[in-house]
Amino acid sequence: MNVQAVKQWMITLLIVVWGGPSFVFGGTIASRLHELLSASGASSRHNVVIKPKGHASLAVLANLLRNRGGRRLRTLRCANLVAAELSKSQINVLATNESIGSIRQDITIFAPERTAGSKSAPSSSNWANVMSGVLELQNEGIDGTGVVVAALDTGVDLNHPALITRFRGQATDWFDPHLSTAEPYDPHGHGTQTTGLAVAAQVGAAPGAKWIAGKIFADDGTALASSIHQCFDWVIDPDGNPATDDAPHVVICAWGTPNYHSPLDEEFEPDLAALRAANIVVILAAGNDGPHPNTSVSPANNPSGFAVGAADDSGNVVDFSSRGPIPDTLRLYPDVVAPGKDLTTTDATFGGPASYVEVSGTSFAAGLTGGIAALLRQAVPSASVTDILQALRLSCQDVGQFGADYAAGQGLIHAAIARDILTGIPAPGDLNGDNKIDWDDFFLMSNHWGEKTNTGDANGDGEITWYDHQLIEGHRLP
């Protein structure tokens, strides 16, 4: 090997070791944390999350940290981590322990901005509920009754009259990892706004559903990643008793962290995967960093995420809605879009009278979609998470660029069409009824091109024409 090749090999090795947050320094301490420790004094203390090595249990790891002087220990089951506050010297000593796989910084995440203002109570259903097919289901008596929606956000204002009667109300239906408060509250407003679009009377997609909430953000609008992990652990089993069936059917995560560059931030992927395995639908906001490409956010862009972008009242993707592709992959992002501009919803009362506000953002598109998922769960209780998310994709009306794209994903969701798909009615363009629109449907249509027949007829007009081709291409899943 010549000298130039050796230099290139060394540079490549350094990039792997130092290159990003998913790599670890020295095999144990993550690169970001190592940089922080290098710039810190000997007596400095740091919030970290620690992953056990191999088959080492969380209990053994927590006991080890306790014996080594760790503070604020929290076991995070879904993520398979232990969070702790440790000194610089403690971190360096623990990095050599064979029970520890990695130590990384417990990052700080910021709550989305709250929309201020005031608006009178709506006299009719949100325009968004009409456009997205929600009103059609509500008129059939499908309003989310029997379904529970969890909001993981800044909290929810229990004093709002459109929300207080929808709270499930058990002692374990509110989780505050910061102050351990006994009842739901929202000093910020964002959580009240997103939850309203899901379950509040008049404005919500599923006003018959109940809600529970985890306050992932402290009163100052910040959250450690470990606090969010705690909320995921709570929401999968709110009362801590596996024998009781108290988990929600739908979880709304209307927040995220920018993740424009490699490597992909999968901090919360284990949590999302655990909830999906528990048959809980998780709806995530796609982010408000558009219109440029490569502006996806985590955890919406994680493998187990379902990202919802925002559309206006004409069905167009709004400029602020984040775009794909996802770092390190050409995977579609967002998955779908939903109404998310100029929506009327509940606002935090701050001790005053009932208040409403007009909001815009993918957070609110996610809130609405969470409500739609609740309607689908009521309509077809046996439907799995995979079934519901696939039905939402297949229900989409193609908008913007022809076919699936990195602005609109599959397109604009429609609740009634999604319900039909779940009950066995094929989606428009699903000619062979296999619950997906793909090349098989395209070939079926092509084999009958120009014929007056129902076989291969995607739009139901009795003949096979260019319009059928456009419908299938516009809805074909990548």
Contact 302, 262 (CB under 8 A): no
Neighbours of 17 (CB within 10 A): 14
Longest pairwise C-alpha distance within the chain: 81
446 is catalytic: no
Of 388, 379, 389, 391, the C-alpha closest to 427 is: 391
Are 167 and 184 in contact by the 8 Å Cβ rule? The answer is yes
Beta carbons of 433 and 456 less than 8 angstroms apart: no
Question: Looking at 87, 102, 106, 153, which residue is catalytic?
Answer: 153
What are the beta bridge partners of residue 230? none
Give Cα separations from 336 to 169, 312, 315 (angstroms): 32, 13, 12
DSSP string, 328-349: TS---SSSEEEE-SSEEEEE--
**CA pair distance 177, 283, nearest whole angstrom:** 22
Of the candidates 34, 160, 188, 190, the residue annotated as catalytic is: 190
Per annotation, catalytic residue among 363, 398, 405, 414: 363
Q: E strand or H helix at 48, and its extent?
A: strand 45-52
Q: Can you tell me the distance from the alpha carbon of 221 to that of 161, in angstroms, rounded to the nearest whole number?
A: 24
Decide if 363 is catalytic: yes
Angle, in degrees to the nearest 10, between helices 190-199 and 362-379 = 30
> Catalytic site residue 153?
yes
The answer to whether the CB of 335 falls within 8 A of the CB of 312 is no
User: Contact, 350 vs 154, CB < 8 A?
Assistant: no
Both structure tokens of 342: 């100029």
Rg (C-alpha) for the chain, rounded Å, is 24
Q: Which amino acid is at 108?
A: T
Q: Return the number of other C-beta atoms located less than 10 Å from residue 425's C-beta.
A: 12
* Alpha helices (H) in 120-224, listed in sequence order: 127-131, 134-138, 161-164, 190-199
Q: How far is CA 474 from CA 76, 401, 437, in A?
A: 42, 9, 10
Residues β-bridged to residue 258: 297
Buried b (16+ CB within 10 A) or exposed e, 354-385: ebbbbbbbbbbbbbbbbbbbbbbbbbbeebeb
Catalytic residues, by residue number, are 153, 190, 363
